[in-house]
Amino acid sequence: MMRYWLSDRLTLNRDSGRDEIYFPGFDADSMYFEDPAGNIVELIGRRKRDLFGDLTKESFLNLSEVGIVTPFVTDVGEQLMDAGIPLRKGTEVDPSGLNFLGQDDWYVVLVPPGRRWYFSDALAETFPLVFTWGEGQRISIDSNGRIQLE
């Protein structure tokens, strides 16, 4: 249902002929599209959590992931873990891979520059970013990929 609603409003990205993918580790389906600025947006539907029925703005429950692209993947990952944001699987950040830090339905996706984003030809680039985590903890990333926690 979500796919049809979205495809009436925007163009879904495709990969190998598909416009959605199932991730068993999260029990979730994802679709991808680009926002007006060219950012890759992933829309995630968690199968045992999300609402069913008519699609309205209330169907969109929360922001689920924020991507951090940095050449300092290991250092940034360790800083996030020291701040109480757990690594989803394992105990060490993979400096060349896709790392999920967080819990429940909210994650920081930590990757190195140059990684190809799913359902896109776009390569990950480092850009400044500021967001709030949990109970108001502010996290900022500068244009070099260095992190600051407040």
Instruction: Spell out the domains of the chain, with CATH numbers in brackets.
Output: 1-61 (no CATH), 67-150 (3.10.180.10)
15-42 pLDDT tens trace: 999 999 998 988 888 899 988 888 888 8
Q: Residue range 64-83: average pLDDT?
A: 94
83-87 mean pLDDT: 92
Tokens of 82: 């020291």
- CA separation for the pair 5, 68 (Å, rounded): 29
- Tens digits of per-residue pLDDT, 130-148? 998 878 889 999 999 999 9
User: Lowest-pLDDT range, 31-45, 70-84, 89-103?
Assistant: 31-45
Q: What is the DSSP string of 27-41?
A: TEEEEEEE-TTS-EE
Mean pLDDT score across all residues of the chain:
87
| Cα 69 to Cα 129: distance, rounded to the nearest angstrom | 10
Q: Which pLDDT does position 52 carry in this prediction?
A: 56
pTM of the model: 0.83
